[in-house]
Structure 1
Amino acid sequence: MKEDFLHYLWKFKKFDTTNLKTSNDEDITIVNAGQYLQMAGPDFFNAQITIANQKWAGNVEIHIKSSDWYIHHHERDEAYDSVILHVVWEHDTEVFRKNNTEIPVLELKNYVSKETLEKYQSLLTPKSWIYCEKQLEEINEFTLNNWKERLFFERLERKSIKIQELLVQTNQDWEAVLFCLLAKNFGLNTNGELFLKIAQSIPFSVFRKESFELENIEALLFGKAGLLNIEKEDTYYKNLHTRFNYLQHKFQLEQSVFEPVQFFKHRPDNFPTIRLSQLANVYHSQHNLFSKVINANSIESIYDFFRVSVSNYWQNHYQFDKESPKKNKMLSKSFIDLIIINTIIPIQFAYAKSQGKDISEDLIRLMQNVAPESNTIIQKFSSFGVKSKNAFDTQSLLQLKNEYCNKSKCLDCAIGIELLKKS
């Protein structure tokens, strides 16, 4: 038995509410169960309850056992003086407020049906992957779609935390934040954090000023990545090395020492050299990128912004001094989709929120035009009957698995609540 199950029972009145009595045999009538705010203090606020023909307004606290009141030291906390009813599964001791007045207790186990308990126990019985995996197909489409929408925006809220941190670090410079986010996502999982550090180490005002000269911004990125630190005979390498030293002196850039970029286990097209060159080409070809991104209202226009290749040198190289067969190395549609999912949509959401605008429908529409992601979580959901048509679906399901299923928060989940309600 867990407290969140008792919260669920009380919130939705999933017990026999007729002939309720306190542990002292006084009649109870629930007029209003109160607000479940999930914050510090009592569990349910502003409840209205009649006890022994006396109407009370106040808060409700819920525990597995009455004695938990003392284990949590509520008798010392004035915030709990407003509790008008202590709802417990098992009543094992009387409880008192800080002023020594006794609090009425409702022992809930006497009013919950066997069927409700069996549903709860069945839902939380460990399965091979998630608790409700064998029941997912029973969920009606309306419930699932509404829940997906909430999950999608919860995930965006979580991604916004990093954006807010970057805004503080960049003195509220949205263009610099976009640059940092793009750099991180161009680095993928292996080099993402390093690419982010590289972007943060270059003042965006400098990067923007030099973006008209492609070799200059390549020099800045490669130099900060530590890829220009040793002597090589390659002419292009020497050119970038010279440019980086000049720019570093001109703009008084700090010396940065980061961990080495990772080539290991990457396909050649994902080598850090290729991704840095593509990032440089994005900013060389798209000036005022932030303004374009924020105002983009179609997937096609976003694809246009990122339809770039590498510079000429990298068309027949993957590393300095090592020539390879010529290849254009355009950003793929699937890679741009990752940029849309992890950078464009989150920054559109965060910026609109900062401006007091609601663009929820626009964001959903954009994401519904992006191909679904493919990973083990999405494949598992599909095997249990929950198919993904687009990136809106996959982002919602990732939030569901990571923040609800993995944390056993079934009673905070619309799917879990729906299953418990089913007859």
Structure 2
Amino acid sequence: MKEDFLHYLWKYKKWNTQDLKTTTGDSICISQVGQYLQQSGPDFFNAQMIIGNQKWAGNVEIHLKSSDWYVHHHEKDAAYENVILHVVWEHDTAVFRKDNTEVPVLELKNYTDHEVLLNYEKLTVPKSWIFCEKQIREVDNFVLKNWQERLFFERLERKSKAINELLEQTNMDWEAVLFCMLAKNFGLNTNGLFFLKIAESVPFSIIRKENFEVENLEALLFGKAGLLVGEKEDNYFKDLQFRYFYLLHKYQLSSETEGQVQFFKHRPDNFPTIRLSQLAHLYHLHQNLFSKIISITNLEAAYELFQLKPSEYWEMHYQFDKESPKKAKKLSKSFIDLLLINTIVPIQFAYAKSIAKEISEDLIAILSQVAAEKNSIVDKFESFGLKANNSFESQSLLQLKNEYCTYGKCLSCAIGTELLKKN
């Protein structure tokens, strides 16, 4: 048994509230169980109750055993002096305040319904992937839908932390933050962090000044990626190399970016050369991209905005000096979907929050139009009967697995608490 199960029992009053008594025989009448803090200090704040004939208002501390009070050194912490009730599963020792008065103890195992214990045991049996994998399909659809929405916005909150950090670095320049986020996602998993470093190493004011000539943007991005080193026969390469060194001198930029691009394990259309050229063309075509991004409300608008391709040179190349059969290399719908999931919607969420604008329903509507992601986590949930029909639902499942299931936080999960109610 874990202590968070006792927190659950106390918070939701999953025990027989009649004829409660302390371990010393005093009657207990609970008016308020208190506020669940989930931070340092006592577990529940500002509870109200009558113990014996005395009314009390104060805090409640919960442990598996009474002796845990001393194991956790609460006797040395002034924050626990206002504990009015010590709730435990098993009482094994008396606990005293500094004034030598004994803290009343409620031994919860004497008042907990046997059915609740059985459900808890079912929920915490050894798992192969998640604890509730054999029961998850039993959960009411209404509960699931509400929980998915909560998980979705928790995931957006997590993603917005990176956006807020970039805002601090760029002096609250949303256009610069968008450039960094797009660069990271154009690099996908393999080159994402390196592309982000490239974007961070070029002040966005330079991108603004140079976006009228796409070759200058390409020169900056390719050069910072270390792709314009050495000598090649292509005139296109030589031109970009000349432009890059001119721009370095003009803006007094450092020529080095720590790291290197990866071609390995990428399909040719995802080669860093192609993605960097596409990113350059995006900023050549759209001078006020941020305002257009935050205005997107549907897939069609996103697909239209990202209708772009790399320079003509890359229609017959994937690498410098190596010609290949001609092929148009536009952004695919599936790639734009990834941009929606990982850049556009998180940016919209963070910006709306910064100006206290409510757009929750709009964000759900956008990703409800995008196909569900395909990955091992989403596939595994589907094998247990929980299918993601769109990206709103698949993002929720990723948050569920990564932040709850992985850490066994079943009692903080709406699915877990619902299963505990089953008869």
Into which bin does the TM-score normalised by the smaller protein fall?
A: over 0.9
Structure-2 residue corresponding to 1:168: 168
Structure-2 residue corresponding to 1:405: 405
Structure-2 residue corresponding to 1:214: 214
Displacement, 1:343?
0.3
Structure-2 residue corresponding to 1:92: 92
Structure-1 residue corresponding to 2:123: 123
Structure-2 residue corresponding to 1:286: 286
CA–CA separation in structure 1 for the residues paired with 2:68 and 2:238:
71
1:325 and 2:325 correspond: yes
Show the 5 A alignment for 1:66-215.
66-215=66-215
Where structure 1 has 5 or more consecutive residues not aligned to the other structure, the ranges are none
1:53 and 2:53 correspond: yes
1:224 and 2:224 correspond: yes
AA aligned opposite 1:186: F
Deviations 1:355-411 (A, max 9, x none): 111111111111111111111111111111111111100000000000000010000
Structure-2 residue corresponding to 1:298: 298
1:335 and 2:335 correspond: yes
AA aligned opposite 2:223: G
1:266 and 2:266 correspond: yes
Give yes or no for contact 1:48–1:57 (8 Å, CA) kept in 2: yes
Displacement, 1:175?
0.5
Displacement, 1:38?
0.8
Give yes or no for contact 1:78–1:98 (8 Å, CA) kept in 2: no
Give yes or no for contact 1:144–1:415 (8 Å, CA) kept in 2: yes
CA–CA separation in structure 2 for the residues paired with 1:100 and 1:296:
65
Give yes or no for contact 1:77–1:98 (8 Å, CA) kept in 2: no
CA–CA separation in structure 2 for the residues paired with 1:190 and 1:99:
61
CA–CA separation in structure 2 for the residues paired with 1:385 and 1:220:
49
CA–CA separation in structure 2 for the residues paired with 1:344 and 1:286:
15
Give yes or no for contact 2:219–2:241 (8 Å, CA) kept in 1: yes
CA–CA separation in structure 1 for the residues paired with 2:83 and 2:109:
20
Q: Structure 1 stretch 197-206 or stretch 70-79: which is displaced more?
A: 70-79
AA aligned opposite 2:297: N
C-alpha RMSD over aligned residues: 0.9
Q: Percent identity?
A: 69
CA–CA separation in structure 1 for the residues paired with 2:268 and 2:255:
29
Q: Secondary structure at the residue paired with 2:38? A: coil
What TM-score do the two structures reach when normalised by structure 1? 0.99
CA–CA separation in structure 2 for the residues paired with 1:97 and 1:117:
32
1:24 and 2:24 correspond: yes
Deviations 1:45-96 (A, max 9, x none): 1111110022111110001111111111111111111111000111111112
Where structure 2 has 5 or more consecutive residues not aligned to the other structure, the ranges are none
Give yes or no for contact 2:223–2:255 (8 Å, CA) kept in 1: no
Displacement, 1:213?
0.5
Displacement, 1:116?
1.5
Q: Secondary structure at the residue paired with 2:294? A: helix
Displacement, 1:286?
1.5
CA–CA separation in structure 2 for the residues paired with 1:247 and 1:98:
71
Displacement, 1:99?
3.2
CA–CA separation in structure 2 for the residues paired with 1:208 and 1:96:
67
Displacement, 1:297?
2.0
Deviating runs (4+, > 4 A) in structure 1?
Answer: none
Give yes or no for contact 2:197–2:257 (8 Å, CA) kept in 1: no
